[in-house]
Chains A and B, each alone.
Chain A
């Protein structure tokens, strides 16, 4: 493929980002860039993610952001499970456990936002219909207010940076996915033309 098609998937924990990313990657025949945080954490850290020190949170998100930027820069067509903006959102959410007034490192936020603005051709934002419903798996966040806050932060950042965002309902049905694929294939760049032939 000569053109680019770079899709980022955003939404709160448990909204079906990974499943949707896998579906889009398979249907469109483009690469899947995984979320990639769980591989770096031991099972102990993974279970108490919110209880880690602020310094450790910063280290983890820095690691996440660097790897995400590096991986996404290597590919012209991909669907990415979470985006660089999620690193900022994770810190905004977790700082409330320490001190809500803690400032986020400016350079970190700048890199995350600049990469998102320059990279994603489309952001797919998973939106809750009604109250969030998440299966408690011992790892995912299940506090409803927090999930709603995460979604609000995603939506606000997309709007603020003026990213091309498509809203899809959380836990999308096959019909939702088909509509989304049609929406993606409708556009007229060379990558979309290539994908249409696929």
Chain B
């Protein structure tokens, strides 16, 4: 039995059975995203990430209680169910009221919307919202800025986010760089390692190794300052992601960054 398909089916049935509550609380749609929406989902290991798109923040309690209920009712497949909420006004660019919209730029979310798996409610499309999605280069800049901020926040006390989530975002930034280099392709961890180059290899290696050990929080936390260092070097070297191919040929940013470190 394909447990990914089974998991998706169970999530769909669970939310459909709770339609009335969702409608009453202004939830417009429920989607699956993250690894289950990609090809590298690992049953019983990967998180099942779910996002409810709503017209108002008042549904937060309902979504949390539905998550607990689903984890209890379907222990085998949904023990790792995570839920987040996102407002339609966040996606339209009017607010950034939800935690998710504060962590990730809603334009990036909008750009990725088509790769999410529809679970319940409205089938949103890009034309459902006023905003335009990002270009690849804009995605790179937004991801880079957001990731640096998240890493800095993650290192501060009290910690605002689990380090594994931040490290996963580092993997996604590398994916964006690879897309700029090689053209559009789906995000999977094996692709991440396969396509890594002199610029992206150190980060890709770390992310891949953490994933193979199921993202241990303490080790992820130790890696964050190292990756943050790489990111700052990328920035200070005036790195233009569109020129990765040429930098790869001529010894690459990695060496430029190393030279700078040696001089210092």
Contacts and interface: CB of A to CB of B under 8 A. Distances in A.
Interface of A: 22, 25-27, 29, 31-34, 36, 39-40, 63, 67, 70-71, 74-75, 78, 198
B127 A29 contact: no
B122 A26 contact: no
Interface in B109-126: 114, 118, 120-123, 125
Contacts of B19: 26-27
B122 to A, nearest CB: 5
Given A26-B120, A39-B128, A78-B123, 13 more contacts: A26-B20, A27-B19, A29-B16, A29-B120, A33-B122, A36-B127, A39-B129, A63-B127, A67-B125, A71-B123, A71-B125, A74-B123, A198-B13
B35 to A, nearest CB: 22
Contacts of B121: 25-26, 31-32
14 contacts: A22-B23, A25-B122, A26-B16, A26-B19, A26-B121, A27-B19, A29-B120, A31-B118, A31-B121, A31-B122, A32-B121, A34-B128, A71-B125, A78-B123
A80 B115 CA distance: 21
Contact of B23 (A26, A36, A74, A75): A26
Nearest to A67: B127
- Interface of B, helix, strand, loop or mixed by DSSP: helix
B122 A74 contact: no
B160 interface: no
B258 interface: no
Contacts of B130: 39-40
Contacts, number: 50
| Most chain B beta-carbon contacts within 10 A, residue among A22, A32, A75 | A32
Interface string B114-151: 10001011110101111000000000000000000000
A39 B122 CA distance: 14
A198 B16 CA distance: 9
A29 B12 contact: yes
Contacts of B16: 26, 29, 198
Given A26-B19, A26-B23, A36 B128 contact: yes
B33 to A, nearest CB: 16
A114 B68 CA distance: 46
A70 B126 CA distance: 10
Interface string B1-19: 0000000000011001001
Contacts of B20: 26
A26 B23 CA distance: 9
Nearest to A68: B127
A75 B29 CA distance: 15
A32 B122 CA distance: 4
Contacts of A32: 121-123
Nearest to B17: A29
Contacts of A27: 19
Contact of A75 (B13, B118, B128, B129): B118
Nearest to A71: B125
Which 7 A/B pairs are nearest by Cβ-Cβ distance? A26-B19, A29-B16, A67-B127, A31-B123, A71-B125, A32-B122, A33-B123
B125 A74 contact: yes
A26 B12 CA distance: 11
Nearest to B19: A26
Nearest to B12: A29
B182 to A, nearest CB: 25
Nearest to B129: A39
B125 A70 contact: yes
| Most chain A beta-carbon contacts within 10 A, residue among B12, B16, B122 | B122
Nearest to B124: A34
B129 to A, nearest CB: 7
A127 to B, nearest CB: 25
A118 to B, nearest CB: 18
A70 B12 CA distance: 23
Nearest to B125: A71
Nearest to A29: B16
Contacts of A78: 123
Contacts of B114: 74
B259 to A, nearest CB: 49
B12 to A, nearest CB: 6
